[in-house]
Chains A and B, each alone.
Chain A
Amino acid sequence: MLNHCIILFFQFCKFSVLCFGGGYMLIPLLTAEYVDREQVLTMSEFGNLCSVAQVTPGPVGLNTATYVGYVNEGFFGALAASLGLIVPTVLIGCSAAAGINRWKDTFLVKGMLKGTRLAAVALIMFAVTIFLGMSVFTQTIPWEAFGALFKLDYPVLPEGFRVSPAGVLICGATIALMLKTKVPTTALLLGSAAAGALLSAWF
């Protein structure tokens, strides 16, 4: 128990140090560790967990960490995970706030930033593919139902390429609203939750 909590703490210290570019970077790191390697979570559980983390107030990374810790080891696991996420940040932040202006133009800092940012972009793209697999290319609401509704002959698509119409609708609407308007995130999430419930009731 204590051992596990200490392991969790250090795992999250590692994630915190590697987490360049915000909380979404945790998604590939966490799936690699807990879904692929240790298999304490399934991909779909992980998806639910991220949804909860996104809807509840607070930074996404912190919410996800608390939740993963809780799933692993209960209350103390949650405590260990969120402490693990914070402690390196406090250490690095306190030293960086003093020295960053002197260091930021050196080649070591610039190179590290350039490299890690490129990697961060690639890993966030990877996180998008993970989430596309869970929301759009899934059969929560099967394509057949959509075809039957409009009396269409739907193409028979191979497994893994079937598209959930509800997923496409909500995902597309979210992207459009985020790019074209200034709808607050909260409203987007509540709206999509309601839309999801309605669509699943309809089909």
Chain B
Amino acid sequence: MEMEIRTLSRGRRLLLLYCSFFRITALVVGGGLAMLPVIEEIFVVKRKLLTREELLDMTALTQTVPGIIAINSAVYIGMKVAGVPGAIAAAAGAVTPPFTVILVIASLFPHLDPKNRYLLGVFAGIRAAVTGMILVTGCRMFRRTVKSPLEIAVVLVFFVLAIMKVSPALLILAAVPFGWCYVLWQTRRLARAEQANGESSKVSAESASESRRNEEGGKC
């Protein structure tokens, strides 16, 4: 199967990428992470273009670089399969369906009756569900990311600043130099702790050998 793909002409490969991502974003409701199982099925199980390890790498990468996860995945897989043109084809495929659907809905929207109580109810219901979804996503991110009391404090400071209407863009930019200082401080602390550990174990080894020597001396 892999050979078959490798022998595909460049044009066919680009078409395959475009169509696959067209299908993925046309069918999957929800965020970029909801796409992962579908990506796995198409590119790992069926087409055998990626290994499972590569997919794991991709998952890490898509959450590392900025940008929405869906497009990040498309770009990465496109790169793997057909280089930069592949990345562009995959991204274009991922964009086309939501773009069209939203355009149609957005142009219909003004024709809806804004006072219709059923319509209002539908929107209220979906908003409440979305609130729950963001809350769950946020909690999962919190658990994955925040690992010490100091980090909890930092998150709280950022949160309060955001509530006080500090621009979110500014907050993210400020977070970068903060992260550098933090990582630097952490590695220094770790190094110091290791050094201390090393010394103490050396000391204990010395004392052990000393006591052994003493015992031997006693025997003599």
Q: Report A's interface with B, CB cutoff 8 A.
A: 14, 16-24, 26-29, 32, 36, 47-48, 50-63, 66-67, 70-71, 75, 78-79, 82, 85-86, 88-90, 92-94, 96-98, 100, 104, 107-129, 131-132, 134-136, 138, 140-141, 164, 166-175, 178-179, 185-186, 188-189, 191-201
Q: With CB as the reference atom, state the residue of chain B lying closest to A71.
A: B106
Q: Nearest 8 CB-CB pairs, A to B?
A: A196-B125, A115-B179, A58-B98, A200-B121, A174-B132, A122-B158, A93-B75, A59-B70
Determine which residue in B29, B32, B34, B68 has the highest number of CB atoms from chain A within 10 A of its CB, and name it.
Answer: B68
For chain B, residues 62 to 76, give those with C-beta under 8 angstroms from any C-beta of chain A: 63-72, 75-76
Interface residue tally for chain B (C-beta within 8 Å): 96
For chain B, residues 54 to 68, give those with C-beta under 8 angstroms from any C-beta of chain A: 61, 63-68
The stretch from B8-16, B164-172, B190-198 touching chain A is B164-172
Complex: A134 Cα to B130 Cα, angstroms: 11
User: When the two chains form the complex, which single residue of B29, B33, B118, B151 contacts A201, counting CB atoms closer than 8 Å?
Assistant: B118
Whether the pair B137, A135 counts as a contact (CB closer than 8 A) is no
Complex: A135 Cα to B133 Cα, angstroms: 13
A128 CB, min distance to chain B CBs, angstroms: 5
B184: interface (CB < 8 Å): yes
User: When the two chains form the complex, which single residue of B26, B33, B107, B131 contacts A128, counting CB atoms closer than 8 Å?
Assistant: B131
Interface string of B21-44 (1 = CB under 8 A from A): 000011111111111000000000
User: When the two chains form the complex, which single residue of A51, A90, A107, A168 contacts B87, counting CB atoms closer than 8 Å?
Assistant: A90
Whether the pair A94, B105 counts as a contact (CB closer than 8 A) is no
Whether the pair A128, B134 counts as a contact (CB closer than 8 A) is yes
Whether the pair B125, A136 counts as a contact (CB closer than 8 A) is no
Whether the pair B127, A90 counts as a contact (CB closer than 8 A) is no
Whether the pair B172, A201 counts as a contact (CB closer than 8 A) is no
Q: Report B's interface with A, CB cutoff 8 A.
A: 25-35, 61, 63-72, 75-76, 79-80, 84, 87-88, 91, 94-95, 97-99, 101-103, 105-107, 109, 117-118, 120-138, 141-142, 145-146, 151, 154-159, 161-163, 165, 167-169, 171-184, 187
On whether A171 and B132 interact (CB within 8 A), knowing A14-B169, A32-B168, A36-B165, the answer reads: yes
A-B contact pairs, 25 of them (CB 8 A): A16-B66, A22-B68, A24-B138, A57-B97, A58-B97, A61-B70, A62-B70, A70-B106, A85-B67, A96-B61, A114-B179, A115-B180, A117-B141, A117-B145, A120-B145, A121-B158, A166-B121, A170-B128, A171-B131, A179-B136, A185-B34, A189-B126, A192-B126, A197-B122, A200-B124
B69: chain A residues within 8 A (beta carbon)? 22-23, 59
Instruction: Tally inter-chain residue pairs, CB-CB below 8 A.
Output: 378
Whether the pair A111, B135 counts as a contact (CB closer than 8 A) is no
Whether the pair B71, A59 counts as a contact (CB closer than 8 A) is yes
Whether the pair B101, A78 counts as a contact (CB closer than 8 A) is no
User: When the two chains form the complex, which single residue of B34, B91, B98, B165 contacts A63, counting CB atoms closer than 8 Å?
Assistant: B98
B76: chain A residues within 8 A (beta carbon)? 93, 97
A21: chain B residues within 8 A (beta carbon)? 63, 141
Q: With CB as the reference atom, state the residue of chain A lying closest to B120.
A: A200
Told that A59-B94, A67-B105, A126-B168 touch, could you supply 6 new A-B pairs with CB distance under 8 A? Answer: A89-B71, A90-B71, A126-B159, A127-B138, A128-B134, A196-B122
B16 CB, min distance to chain A CBs, angstroms: 18
Whether the pair B105, A52 counts as a contact (CB closer than 8 A) is yes
